[in-house]
Structures are given as structure tokens and as C-alpha cells.
Amino acid sequence: MKQNEIKHMILDNKDCYAALCAHDTRFDGKFFVGVSSTGIYCRLICRAKLPKEENCTFFTSAAAAEAAGYRPCLKCRPELAPGYAPVDSAGFIARSAAQIMEENCPDDLNITELASMLSITERHLHRVFSSEYGVSPVQYMQTTKLFLAKSLLADTRLSITDVAQAAGFGSIRRFNDLFKNHYKLTPSDMRNMGSSAGEDSREICLKLGYRPPYSWDKLVSFLSARAIPGVESVEGNVYYRTVGLQKGDKLCKGWISVADRQEGNYLLVTLSCTLLPVLSQVLARVRRLFDVNCDPLKIFEKLEVMNEISPHLCEPGTRLPGCFDPYEMSVRAILGQQVTIKAARTLAMRFTREFGEKIDTPFSDLNYTFPDPGEICSLQGPVENYLGPLGITSARARSIFYLAEAIVSGSVVFTPTADPEGEMAKLLKLPGFGPWTVQYIGMRALNWLDAFPHTDYGVKKALPGMTPREILALSQEWKPWRSYATINLWNSLDKNHK
């Protein structure tokens, strides 16, 4: 069964059942199976007893299965299934809406506001969303909230009141009623069946599932080499960072750590309890940073041709390092113009210590949050006077300021609703933003999967003997996954140095 058959396969019970029998991880999260004899729905990787084909109904989303009256399996936990990558199909608008809901599920975001954010009518939003997920946006939002609550009940020891608030339920009574109606269990019942993980009251531990293979070592090595001292660190193959996110008028500060659990195909995300009010934002950003929704085998099918240039140039499981904070990543890109990775790290560290906020964490090397763009916009007088003493050139100082100004004014946006190519075109007009910088920001901060910095030193080094024009021409056969091609090229340099 080919990967590109998935949209048709959803309507074909025989093909879906074949994938279920094989427990095919390629399609984990792309459809779910409801079993009429039990009233339960599962991921296709579930290891429970295989149901009879005549008892199976297949759904394009977990929300659709719940809308049909099925309860989630407590063994395979559908809330842990990975989602869709941004270019899996033509439903970009629907998936943008889903990302917004997932990141803002505790807030009272209504459908009118959601449609306005996407610059479409409510009617069109309902149409594209139902086509992609099989349910209305309201039903999807409800399932999103219930999934977050279910994860918190199963994997943490937070009080039920805290769980309800974190998942966006305005009242405990409504939370209890909805939970009982959907899952035939009370929140207390679910809590008693949980794993007792994260019993330290200062920490919250949750899981984010992914599709294997996952080249965690390469991804975390990439992040380690570029980590901003004081903000990020990698120890024992675990990624750590500070966090500062706004919730209304309040700035929530804390820390997170992310570790790979390859045996279960999930990332273990641990965060300080101070980040509970912004939990959904944190999880959404972690998904982007670690490319959790990637479909690695689909990408490898397209990029395997790279191995004709050099064996093992492209490897399955390669992930695209995203970012946690788009402004932070963009400043890092500006500071990295025509200097070494180490030099850019040093400049970013100085910038952070000068303008960031101090924070207390259990980790000696995590003690600052990265400054927000408003902090830079508020500087009085020429920005060079502030950044120059840090070793940042006047041109780059002005680029950092103009970027901050564009973000604060809203003329440049990094939200899930943003059109990456459109925002990249805007960035290109800002002083000091050349093609390399814009392509790098597109790849990592805008999650543009087809960015390609063809003039990059590392790209040219990985393809010796070719001019930038020839490299750009060669890259056309790697579309629409050229960001992944870039990462593979960079990774090949590390292999050659070993």
C-alpha cells in the first residue's frame, strides 16, 4: 500500500484493515479504527486482540471516532498519536485551524475568531474542516481539550481541578459530565488507572508520540551545537531550555526538558509546574521544535535519490530542527551571518544576558529567558549603541531591531496561519536580510519544508565541485522536501568528520 494512497484508503475498509493487521507505523495517527463489539477506538498500532474486519469502522480523526460514539482505548492511547505534517494533503487551512486550536485549547476561542484568524468565512472553515477531519471545528476542539485532560490525568499527579483548568474547562461540573459522557469514566477513575508518572509536584511529565524511524541523536546534536548558553543545553542526550510565555497580562517563566523514548516511539516532555497556564503552547512549540508530526518514510521516498550522489547522503528518520521561539531563532540566524556556529553562540549569549530576564531553575546552566521583541523595540536611541559593545556589528544590530519592530507591529507573523513564502518575501525586504538568512529562517522558524539555502557553505561543502547555480538546479528534484535535504547535507559533513 503506497503512502500517497492514504486519502483514498480512508474510505477503503479492506486496505485500512490490512494496515491494522500489520500494525503499520507509517499510518499511525492518519486514521483510527472503531470496534463495534467493544465501543472502543484505537490507533492501528494497538497491540490489543485484533478485531474482526466486520466489526471495524475507520475514521480520519480521533474526533470523528468520538463523534460516532466510540471511547478511546486505554492501551494504545489515541491522544499520543502523531498528527499530520503541513503538506500531507491539500487541507492546509484545516490543519492550520487544528494547530491553532491545539495551541490555544484552554482559551475560549470561538469559531468566528478562528475563521477571522484564517481570513476565511465560517462556512468555508466548516466545509474544509469537515472534509479533512470528518467533524466540525467545535467537535475537534472538544476532543482536543479532552485529550489534554486525559494525558494529564494518566501521566501526572496534578489535582483534578488543575487538570480541568489547564485543559480549558470553565467548570469542574462540565468537565466531569463531558468526561463521563465520552469515556464512561470519571476523571477520578482515569486518575486511578494512570501511571503515576511525574509525582514531583514541581514537574509535569507528558508524552508526544512520533512515527519511527526518528534520528534523535542527529537532531539533538544539531541543537546542542547551536544552543544559546544560559537558555538551552544538552546533557546526556536530553534537551533542556528556559521558557518565557505570555498568558494574558502574566509572563509565565519556567523550564522544559525533552528526552527520546525510542522503545515507545514517543518523546518525554518534562516541564516546571509554573508553565501549567501555558501548557498547550509549550506542547505545540515542542512539537514544532522536534518535528513530531513528520512522516519520515514518505520524505525518504522522495529524497532517497540523493544517495545516487553519495551513499548514505540521505537517511530515513532525519528530522527538521524547528524552533521554540521564532524571534529567538531569527536573531540567531542574523548573528550567524558569515561567522562560525561557535561565534554566533557567543554573540547570542551576550545578547541574552544583556536583555533577557534572569530565572531560577534546578539547572546551573539555565538561568536566562531569551528577550522578547518588545524589549528591543523599547530601546531609546540608536540600537547600535546597545548592541555594538556586545560585538554585534551595526548592520546586524539594525536587522535585529527591524525584525523586532516588524513582529511587534504585526507586519511579519510566525503563527500557524502564516504563509511561509509570503512571510519570507517580507523578510527579504528588511535591511540586512539576504537569501541565506531568509531561507534559514523559513526552514526553522516558519516550518517551511521546501526552504533551500543553496549558497550555504555547508551545502556547498557537501556537494563539492558544484556551483550554487548547479546546486539549485539539482535541488529541484528534491521538492517539496528541500529543507530535509539541507539537513541531510549538513549531517553528511558530521559523518565525514568522524
Determine if residue 215 is left, alpha or beta; phi over 0 gives left, psi from -120 to 50 gives alpha, anything else beta. beta
Nearest of 219, 305, 327 to residue 481 by alpha carbon? 305
CATH 3.40.50.300 fits 3-77, yes or no: no
- Indicate the DSSP class of residue 28: B
Rg (CA), the chain: 23
Burial category of 201 from C-beta neighbours within 10 Å (exposed 0-12, middle 13-18, buried 19 and up): exposed
- Residues 136/147, Cβ–Cβ less than 8 Å: no
What would the pLDDT profile of 182-232 be if each residue is shown by its tens digit? 898 899 988 887 655 545 567 999 999 999 999 999 999 999 999 999 999
At the top level of CATH, which class does the domain 92-192 belong to? Answer: mainly alpha
What pLDDT, on the 0 to 100 scale, is given for residue 9?
35
- Indicate the DSSP class of residue 38: T
pTM of the full predicted structure? 0.89
What are the grid coordinates assigned to 392, written together?
554585534
Q: Where are the domains of the chain?
A: 3-77, 92-192, 203-298
Query: How many percent of the chain have pLDDT more than 90?
Result: 77
Burial 451-478 (b: 16+ CB within 10 A, else e): bbbbebebbbebbeebeeeebeeebeeb
**Alpha carbon separation from 19 to 58, 300, 373 (Å, rounded):** 11, 20, 47
Catalytic residues: 456
Q: Are strands 368-369 and 357-358 parallel, antiparallel or unpaired?
A: antiparallel
What pLDDT, on the 0 to 100 scale, is given for residue 486?
98
Which positions of the chain have pLDDT values less than 50?
1-10, 88-90, 198, 496-498
Cell 548547479 appears where?
470
The residues, ordered by sequence, that sit 6+ positions from 262 with a Cβ below 8 Å of its Cβ are: 212, 214, 216
How many residues belong to the chain?
498
Q: Domain 203-298 belongs to what topology?
A: TATA-Binding Protein (3.30.310)
The residues, ordered by sequence, that sit 6+ positions from 291 with a Cβ below 8 Å of its Cβ are: 219, 319, 320, 321, 322
Nearest of 162, 32, 86 to residue 450 by alpha carbon? 86
Listing DSSP states for 207-274 in one string gives: EEE-PSP--HHHHHHHHHHH--TBTEEEETTEEEEEEEEEETTEEEEEEEEEEEEGGGTEEEEEEEGG
What pLDDT, on the 0 to 100 scale, is given for residue 88?
45
What would the pLDDT profile of 266-316 be if each residue is shown by its tens digit? 999 999 999 999 999 999 999 999 999 999 999 999 999 999 999 999 999
What pLDDT, on the 0 to 100 scale, is given for residue 2?
41
What pLDDT, on the 0 to 100 scale, is given for residue 191?
85
Give the C-alpha separation, 96 to 482, whole Å. 21
Give the C-alpha separation, 427 to 434, whole Å. 9
Work out the number of other CB atoms within 10 angstroms of the CB of residue 319. 23
Phi, psi of 320 (to 5 degrees): -90, 110
Cell 540586512 appears where?
432
What pLDDT, on the 0 to 100 scale, is given for residue 347?
98
Strand-pairing partners, residue 407, are none
**Alpha carbon separation from 129 to 98, 135, 289, 355, 356 (Å, rounded):** 9, 7, 25, 42, 40
What pLDDT, on the 0 to 100 scale, is given for residue 322?
96
